[in-house]
Amino acid sequence: MAGAVQSNKGSLRTALLLLTPGLVLLIVAFLLPMLYIFLQSVQDEHQQFTMKQYLLFVQDPYYAQVLWRTIKLSLYTVAASLLLAYPVAMFMARTTGKLRGIVTFLIISPHLISVVIRNFGWVVILGDKGWINTTLLNLGLIDEPLRLLYNELGVVIGLVDSFVVYMVLSIATSLYAIDTSLYKAAGILGASRLRAFLTITLPLSLPGMIAGITLVFSLSMSAFVTPALMGGTSVKVMPVIAYEKIMATLNWPLGAALSFLLLASTYALVALFTRLIETKRYKEVFSS
C-alpha cells in the first residue's frame, strides 16, 4: 500500500515537472499580457478605475455595427469554407498513398507563404485591372470593372483562402476514421450513394465539421491582416478598429476594451454553438 502511494506521488511529481515549462510559458507569454491589457481597459488617462470604455460600446452604435460586421463576415467565411472543403476532404479520404500526400501538400503549401504576399496576390487578381476584370472586359461580358476588392466580398475571399485549409484537414481527419465496411453493408442493403452519404458519411464527419467550423470562425473573428489589406477603409472589423485605436490614436484603454469585447464575443458564440451541438446530441441519444 505504501509502495503504491509512493509510486503515485512519484508519477505526480514527474507530471508536474513535465508541465512546468509549458505552464511558465503560458503564464509569461499569454496570461500576464492579457491581464495587463485588461487593466488598461478599465483605466482612464489618470489610471483611475472606470468602465467608460465598455459603456461607450453600448452608447455608440458604430462599435456594435462593427462587431456585427465582424461576426457576419466570419459566418460567411465558415459557410464558404465548408462548401469548398467538404468535397476536397472526401476526395482525400477516398484516395490513398502518394495521391493523398500530393493533395495534402497542395493544400498546405500556399500557407508556407506569408499571408501578406497571398493577399497582395489576390489584389492583383481581383483589382479593377486584375486578371478577372481584364478577361471579362476583353470578352465583352461586362462594360466596367466589377468591384471585387475593398468590400465585404473581397474580405471573405481573402479569409477563405487563409483558413479553408483548417476546414479541409478537420473534415478529412473524421472521414479517414470511417470504416469502409459500412459502405459495403449499405450497398448490400440497397442504399444509393446519396443515401449512404446522408446516413453514413455526413453523420460520422460531424466531429470534423464542428472542429473546422470552430477553428475557422475563431480565426476569422480575430483576423487583422486580410481585412486591413482587402477591405481597405470601407470595411472595418473589430481587430482593425482595436489596432487603430491603439497605434494611430494611442487610445490604449479603448483599444484594449474593444479587444476584450471581441474576445468575449468570440468565446460566447463558440460556447453557444458547442452547447447547441451537445444538446442536440443529448436529445438524439435519449430519443433513440
Q: Are 160 and 152 in contact (CB under 8 A)?
A: no
Q: Are 246 and 255 in contact (CB under 8 A)?
A: yes
Residue 8 has pLDDT above 80, yes or no: no
96-150, pLDDT tens digit by residue?
Answer: 778 888 999 999 998 888 999 999 999 889 988 888 999 999 988 888 999 999 9
pTM comes to: 0.88
> What is the domain count for the chain?
1
pLDDT of residue 277: 82
Q: Could you tell me if residue 12 is inside a domain?
A: no
Q: Could you tell me if residue 15 is inside a domain?
A: no
Measured between alpha carbons, how far is 77 from 87 in angstroms, rounded to an integer?
16
- Which residues form the domain of 170? 60-287
Q: Could you tell me if residue 31 is inside a domain?
A: no
Across 76-86, average pLDDT: 97
Specify the CATH number for the domain of residue 169: 1.10.3720.10
Residue 288 has pLDDT above 90, yes or no: no
Q: Could you tell me if residue 167 is inside a domain?
A: yes
pLDDT of residue 96: 79
192-245, pLDDT tens digit by residue?
Answer: 888 988 898 999 999 999 999 999 999 999 999 999 999 988 899 999 999 999
Q: Could you tell me if residue 18 is inside a domain?
A: no
Q: Could you tell me if residue 25 is inside a domain?
A: no
Q: Could you tell me if residue 229 is inside a domain?
A: yes
**Which one is predicted more confidently, 169 or 9?**
169
Measured between alpha carbons, how far is 52 from 253 in angstroms, rounded to an integer?
9
Measured between alpha carbons, how far is 125 from 161 in angstroms, rounded to an integer?
13
pLDDT of residue 276: 85
pLDDT of residue 286: 53
154-204, pLDDT tens digit by residue?
Answer: 999 999 999 999 999 999 999 998 888 888 888 888 888 889 888 989 999
Q: Could you tell me if residue 33 is inside a domain?
A: no
| Cα→Cα distances 273→219, 223, 229, 267, Å | 15, 20, 30, 10
Residue 278 has pLDDT above 70, yes or no: yes
30-78, pLDDT tens digit by residue?
Answer: 899 889 889 989 987 777 888 988 988 888 899 999 999 999 999 999 9
pLDDT of residue 229: 92
SS3 letters for 74-127? HHHHHHHHHHHHHHHHHHHHHCCHHHHHHHHHHHHHHHHCCHHHHHHHHHHHHC
C-alpha neighbours within 13 Å on the C-beta side of residue 225: 12
Q: Residues 68, 70, 75, 76: is their CA dihedral positive or negative?
A: positive
Residue 281 has pLDDT above 80, yes or no: no
Nine-digit cell at 71?
Answer: 461576426
Neighbours of 173 (CB within 10 A): 17
